[in-house]
Amino acid sequence: MTPALELTDLRKSFGAMEIIRGVTLSVPAGERHAVIGPNGAGKSTLFHLISGHYRPSAGTIRLGGETISGMAPHLINRRGLSRSFQITNIFPRLSVWENVRCATLWAMGYRYSFWRNIERLADARQRTEEILTEINLLDRWHVPAGVLSYAEQRALEIGLSIAGNAEVLLLDEPTAGMSRAETERVVALIRRVSEKRTLLMIEHDMGVVFDLADRISVLVYGEILASDTPERVKANPAVQQAYLGLEAS
Amino acid sequence: MSERTGAAPAFAAPPLPTGRGAGFLAIFGPWIAAAVLLAVLPQVLSSGLALSTLSLMGMMIIFALSYNMLLGQTGLLSFGQAVFFGLGGFLTVHAMNAFTADGPPLPLVALPLVGAAAGLFFGIVFGAVSTRRAGTTFAMITLGIGELVSSSALILRHFFGGEEGVSTDRTGLAPFLGLTFGSQLQVYYLISGWCFVSVAAMYALTRTPFGRICNAVRDNPHRVAFIGYDPQRVRFLSFSLSGLFAGIAGALAAINFEIMNAGQLGATQSGTVILMAFIGGVGSFGGPIIGAILVTYLQVALSDITDAWQLYFGLLFIAMVMFAPDGIAGLLARQQPLLRGRQLHRVLPAYALALVPGLAAVAGLSLAVEMTNRLTVHAGDGPAMSFLHVPLRADAIVPWLVAAILFAGGGWLFLRAAGVARQAYDEALAVVQGRGRTS
């Protein structure tokens, strides 16, 4: 079966610095896959490459078998890959409702329509309500997104990335900066929203990683050190030395 | 009054949007009221000056709103909006001259369509170049396009008519329902009709998927790409449609003045529309309407009183940007929760208190400006003058002292009183939101 996401010998250099140094990774459809690694390993760069924010220097990225490397972000998104950002990236002056509704529109086929009244789009309204219920922000629907609390903005960030119903979801540190209780809620949310999707997630919280991930890839200095089930990754001596060891020290 | 970006009050959330439209009156009431107002205004303000001022306001409302499609709705700061106003106007003048002679019988009322087509066409052409980038790059390209077009206006004399421009005669076209549009009253109705239709169309545009995505591009163009939209395409469409409406405004100017010249598409005209949008407020749909009405009124009224009127515009603009960056509409919008919570009476005395020294400071500044004007530009007229009907000598020391005291003292008191007013506002808002004392 074609993997949902497939990276082949992916490379990215900034000047003389090679940040991603030949990453090969295959994520089957429906898998929850975590990318871990020390700071500066290139995890966010990898996400920027996959989502089209950066162009790869070499190598290919396939989404459901189709090559997407080098495409603009909006074209990749339309092919069914959506992402969240490590630093909250929302539409601050729009209400929570409009934030989510905007994120549903393209997938609903409304494109650049300037002849339809947006309030009359029953399907977009229904979808928006579903997403807001899912991320537990329904009672905050009218608030400008810029005044939400940090945890609420993080939830909205996830809401924006799932609103378009993409099959492959990339989440960049979804629990960063959250309290224990907030983290638990987000983990439950991620578990729900990734049920029928393929999930690729950067995460520093090992509890979250081992709780959620079917498989884990360890990225160190732009290379994948190991890519395996949580138990086997945990037992891998190279990983322990390179990453988990650092964490413990 | 400071930006209110603190935590939102713990209100019960209002009911979710249902998609079932509000009642007929709630949707169409304001529009019917506006239509009635436009229809009866000339009965109340029937002088020639009033009619031509109202006509000017009508076209400027369209122009300012077209500009705000870029600045307020899509977050694009353009310095060349007059290009589309002017080109729409010039093509309309040429169309009028073509139809006058022996062309097809096109009634005058339909001619703004020529301006719309011209504005759209040039919006597409120049938009393809300028909207590839946002931010400073976009602003600089629009500045360049503005200069390019206005300098070619002086070179391509055949089309732009050189310094004196191209004139026309609007009564030469085929009559429409017996109307020849010879009188300013008929022109007023033509302009207000087009103004109404254009405003309604631009308002409707803000309530479409495209309109919302424009707002999203304004807020965060980077993120828009990750929800499936091409921010560059959004900017391009917004720019083109904005050109269309600016072209309608220019066509109305051509019909109204029966002449177009290079000044109509130059930097001054582009600056005026920025002024209108900013003073009215770019954050809401209605802001530029307020700005267009106020600035046009001041242009007509002030230029009658003083020839330093452009200086006053500059000062007004600076004051607005400094003290009320979201414009008059923003100031009004912030009073709305107080009005709804019936707490407006708490703040009005404080506002009035701030207004008095504020006006004194303005008077002091204007006195200094007028005396300087008299001593420099109008030195030949001698130093004797009058200010607010008070005779004085511009070369005497006392009027200058008075001006200094009014400006400095009034300004100082105003800043103090503004602080008090701000505090009163915050307290009243706290009461409305159920956070403060309710005594």
Interface probe, candidates A118, A140, A150, A161, chain B, greatest B C-beta count within 10 A: A118
* Average pLDDT of the segment spanning A94-113: 96
Q: pLDDT value at position B6?
A: 43
Cβ distance A116 to B216 less than 8 Å, yes or no, reads no
Give residue A209's domain range: 1-71+205-249
Residues B305 and B353 in one domain: no
For residue B7, pLDDT over 50 is answered with: no
Q: Name the least confident of A1-5, A180-184, B47-51, B385-389.
A: B385-389
Residue at A23 is within a domain: yes
- Give A-chain residues touching B230 at CB under 8 angstroms: 72, 74
Cβ distance B212 to A77 less than 8 Å, yes or no, reads no
For residue A145, pLDDT over 90 is answered with: yes
Q: Å from B9 to nearest chain A CA?
A: 10
For residue B4, pLDDT over 60 is answered with: no
The number of domains in chain A is 1
Residue at A62 is within a domain: yes
pLDDT for B298-344, tens place per residue? 999 988 888 888 889 888 999 888 888 999 999 999 999 998 888 88
- Give A-chain residues touching B210 at CB under 8 angstroms: 112-114
Q: Band of the pLDDT at B102, cuts 50, 70, 90?
A: low
Residue at B352 is within a domain: yes
- Indicate the pTM of the whole model: 0.92
* Average pLDDT of the segment spanning B409-421: 93
Residue at A79 is within a domain: no
- Give B-chain residues touching A82 at CB under 8 angstroms: 226-227
* Average pLDDT of the segment spanning B86-90: 97
Identify which of B407, B426, B393, B411 has the alpha carbon closest to the alpha carbon of residue B363.
B407
Instruction: Name the residue of chain A whose CA is nearest to B22's CA.
Output: A119
Residues B174 and B211 in one domain: yes
For residue B1, pLDDT over 80 is answered with: no
The number of domains in chain B is 2
Which residue among A78, A129, A140 sits closest to B228, beta carbon to beta carbon? Answer: A78
| Sequence-ordered list of residues with C-beta below 8 angstroms from that of A123, at least 6 positions apart, any chain | A108
Interface probe, candidates B74, B226, B326, chain A, greatest A C-beta count within 10 A: B226
Cβ distance A114 to B21 less than 8 Å, yes or no, reads no
Cβ distance A106 to B228 less than 8 Å, yes or no, reads yes
Q: pLDDT value at position B12?
A: 64
Residue at B348 is within a domain: yes
Cβ distance A120 to B19 less than 8 Å, yes or no, reads yes
Q: pLDDT value at position A4?
A: 96
Cβ distance A114 to B237 less than 8 Å, yes or no, reads yes
Instruction: Name the residue of chain B whose CA is nearest to A72's CA.
Output: B225
Residue at A247 is within a domain: yes
Give residue B393's domain range: 341-432
- Give B-chain residues touching A127 at CB under 8 angstroms: none
Residue at B16 is within a domain: no
Residue at A54 is within a domain: yes
Residue at B2 is within a domain: no
Residues B358 and B320 in one domain: no
Q: Å from B7 to nearest chain A CA?
A: 6
B386 or B113, higher pLDDT = B113
Cβ distance B208 to A114 less than 8 Å, yes or no, reads yes
Instruction: Name the residue of chain B whose CA is nearest to A157's CA.
Output: B223
Instruction: Name the residue of chain B whose CA is nearest to A118's CA.
Output: B208
Residues B228 and B106 in one domain: yes
Residues B264 and B360 in one domain: no
Give the count of Cβ contacts less than 8 A between chain A and B.
129
Q: Band of the pLDDT at B103, cuts 50, 70, 90?
A: low
The distance from CA B25 to its chain's CA centroid, rounded to whole angstroms, is 28
Among B324, B357, B381, which residue terminates a domain?
Answer: B324
Q: What is the CATH number of the domain that holds B289?
A: 1.10.3470
Instruction: Name the residue of chain B whose CA is nearest to A137's CA.
Output: B13
d(Cα B87, Cα B67) in Å, to the nearest integer?
15
- Give A-chain residues touching B219 at CB under 8 angstroms: 91-94
- Give B-chain residues touching A122 at CB under 8 angstroms: 19
Residues B301 and B398 in one domain: no
Residues B131 and B193 in one domain: yes
- Give B-chain residues touching A119 at CB under 8 angstroms: 17, 19, 21, 207
Residues B155 and B297 in one domain: yes
Q: pLDDT value at position B238?
A: 98
pLDDT for B251-294, tens place per residue? 999 999 999 999 999 999 999 999 999 999 999 999 999 999 99
Q: What is the CATH number of the domain that holds A229?
A: 3.40.50.300
Residue at B356 is within a domain: yes
Residue at B8 is within a domain: no
Residue at A216 is within a domain: yes
Residue at B411 is within a domain: yes
Cβ distance B220 to A89 less than 8 Å, yes or no, reads yes
Residues B365 and B280 in one domain: no
Among B273, B293, B324, which residue terminates a domain?
Answer: B324
Which residue among A51, A93, A149 sits closest to B226, beta carbon to beta carbon? Answer: A51
Which residue among B8, B16, B227 sits closest to A164, beta carbon to beta carbon? Answer: B227
Residues B369 and B307 in one domain: no
DSSP string, A54-112: S--SEEEEEETTEE-TT--HHHHHHTTEEE--SS----TTSBHHHHHHHHHHTTTT-TT
Instruction: Name the residue of chain B whose CA is nearest to A50's CA.
Output: B226
Residues B320 and B374 in one domain: no
Q: Å from B340 to nearest chain A CA?
A: 18
Residue at B15 is within a domain: no
Instruction: Name the residue of chain B whose CA is nearest to A117's CA.
Output: B208
* Average pLDDT of the segment spanning A198-227: 94
Instruction: Name the residue of chain B whose CA is nearest to A51's CA.
Output: B226
The predicted complex's ipTM stands at 0.94
Q: Å from A62 to nearest chain B CA?
A: 18
Residue at A51 is within a domain: yes
pLDDT for B185-212, tens place per residue? 999 999 999 999 999 999 999 999 999 9
For residue B135, pLDDT over 90 is answered with: yes
